[in-house]
Amino acid sequence: MQLSPEQLTLQARAAELSNGLISARAAEVDRSREYPWDNVELLKQAGFLGMTIPQELGGQGRSFLDTVLVIEQMARSCTVTARIVVEANMGAISAVMAYGTDAQRKLAADLVLNGDKPAICITEPDAGSDASGMTTRADKRGNRYVLNGRKHWITGAGVSRLHLIFARVYDEAGEDLGVGGFLAIRGAEGLAVTKRETTMGLCGMPEGELTFTDLEITPDMVLLPPSGFKRGFADLMNAYNSQRVGAGTVAMGIAAGALQHATVWAKMREQFGRPIAEFQGLQWMLADMQTQLTASRLMLYTAAASTGPNGSAFPDPDLAAQAKIFASEAAIKIVNDALQVFGARGYSRDFPLERMARDVRMFTIGGGTAQVLRTLVASKLLGMKLPQTRDGYVNAPLTIR
């Protein structure tokens, strides 16, 4: 895909920041497990937060593809910083921009442009891939909704100010109206962070549990797509198509950084009296890594530039799913092979490959597992609804031909 001169300039600016202070701080962010507020300030100054927010709200009105160019460069150096760029431009913030009222859009824009990383709150202990099985409920009482329930593995728990919470909605008669989106600000009475996960990687980005206890949501904080509660869940989940492209790009960026390290090391490291880059076995490893990386980049750029059905404001769901599957799995292979090029040094915390290997492993899981996304792709390919619930199972007789 040919990038415009403006996009190339944006990419170069992001690379300069990533290769400088972001890279210098990456190991410490991992070691300390502290959210990198200094990096947030750098991203804010560079204009990399809220790039997709419309200009009339203070943003730049940039595309998802523009955002992907920045994410890739940040991920080469620091995965946590790249994740901040994803969620300050995609996911929850883009859902609010697409479906929110003028007041909601201004609230969200002001928070993000001032350094907030919104949290999208869907996953529950018993509702991960099966998001429709969530039990967090929003009961209508008068003109308000009262939320009770629990979410876990919420990215940014404890540091995010804006929360987009998905809950099953019930009217005053107890009738199930579907799943809705509700906005809440950190510090609201009834919203508490009750646990932080100790993660394998992405150590500076908190993943935690949120508990809602009679959390009151006023009408102005209900995020309601035009299709209402019954169909609104599908509309809101469309925001995940941009998030998936962003997550796949983080994985691809990690892989690009790992390949760069491996290439430099192969030229420097000598064994048997010559650089190891002269050995064909390693040359072919590096060539395969580059090929997988190029394919991942093309798929992600294509998905980011696509549009969904019926004038959707988000990328095509099928292309987003395919890009995330391929890029996340390829990234794990590329990073592992890059570590192998370093030999024992790659296994040491004195080198970045060890951190990259831990970080990249998350991206076949978060934002839709590779297995669930394959079901989505197959469903579109076959033109069939592929139910996962037991009620949808049909025990058809096996016919041998």
pLDDT tens, position by position, 72-126: 999 999 999 999 999 999 999 999 999 999 999 999 999 999 999 999 999 998 7
Give the chain's radius of gyration (CA, Å).
Answer: 22
How many whole angstroms separate alpha carbon 286 and alpha carbon 302?
Answer: 24
How many whole angstroms separate alpha carbon 267 and alpha carbon 118?
Answer: 42
The stretch 342-355 carries a mean pLDDT of: 96
How many whole angstroms separate alpha carbon 240 and alpha carbon 315?
Answer: 9
369-395 residue pLDDT tens: 999 999 999 999 998 887 766 665 445
Residues 52/63, Cβ–Cβ less than 8 Å: yes
How many whole angstroms separate alpha carbon 262 and alpha carbon 346?
Answer: 9
Higher-pLDDT residue of 308 and 37 is: 37
Geometric angle at alpha carbon 15, from 14 and 17, rounded to 5°: 65
CB-count burial class (<10 Å; 0-12, 13-18, 19+) for 310:
exposed
Nearest to 196 by CA among 159, 162, 161: 159
CB-count burial class (<10 Å; 0-12, 13-18, 19+) for 299:
buried
The stretch 187-192 carries a mean pLDDT of: 96
pLDDT of 38 over the 80 cut? yes
pLDDT of 163 over the 70 cut? yes
pLDDT of 400 over the 70 cut? no
Residues of the chain with CATH 1.20.140.10: 238-382
Residues 245/68, Cβ–Cβ less than 8 Å: yes
Residues 262/289, Cβ–Cβ less than 8 Å: yes
Residues near 381 by beta carbon (within 8 Å), at least 6 away in sequence: none
Q: Which CATH number fits domain 119-227: 2.30.40.10, 3.40.50.2300, 3.40.50.970, 2.40.110.10?
A: 2.40.110.10
Q: How confident is the model at residue 224 (pLDDT cuts 50, 70, 90)?
A: confident
Q: What is the pLDDT of residue 70?
A: 98
How many whole angstroms separate alpha carbon 164 and alpha carbon 104?
Answer: 11
Q: What is the pLDDT of residue 391?
A: 60
Q: How confident is the model at residue 398 (pLDDT cuts 50, 70, 90)?
A: very low
> Per the structure block, which two tokens stand in for 12?
């170069």
Q: What is the pLDDT of residue 324?
A: 98
DSSP label of 22: I
> Per the structure block, which two tokens stand in for 56?
């009339």
DSSP codes joined into one string, 47-108? T-SSTTS-GGGTS----HHHHHHHHHHHHHH-HHHHHHHHHTTSTHHHHHHHH--HHHHHHH
pLDDT of 139 over the 50 cut? yes
Residues of the chain with CATH 2.40.110.10: 119-227
In 289-380, at which residue ranges do the beta strands (DSSP E only) sit? none
Record: fold of 238-382: Butyryl-CoA Dehydrogenase, subunit A; domain 3 (1.20.140)
Residues 74/253, Cβ–Cβ less than 8 Å: yes
Q: What is the pLDDT of residue 401?
A: 38
- β-pairing, 144-155 vs 176-185, is unpaired
How many whole angstroms separate alpha carbon 376 and alpha carbon 27?
Answer: 36
Q: Phi and psi at residue 163, in whole multiples of 5°?
A: -125, 130
Residues of the chain with CATH 1.10.540.10: 5-113
The per-residue pLDDT of the chain, averaged, comes to 93
Predicted structure pTM score: 0.93
Q: What is the pLDDT of residue 27?
A: 97
pLDDT of 396 over the 70 cut? no
pLDDT of 61 over the 90 cut? yes
DSSP codes joined into one string, 274-327? EEGGGSHHHHHHHHHHHHHHHHHHHHHHHHHH---GGG-SS--HHHHHHHHHHH
Q: Alpha helix (H) ranges present in 153-271? A: 228-237, 239-268
251-274 residue pLDDT tens: 999 999 999 999 999 999 999 999
Record: fold of 5-113: Butyryl-Coa Dehydrogenase, subunit A; domain 1 (1.10.540)
Q: What is the pLDDT of residue 258?
A: 98
Query: Which H or E element spans position 191?
Result: strand 191-196
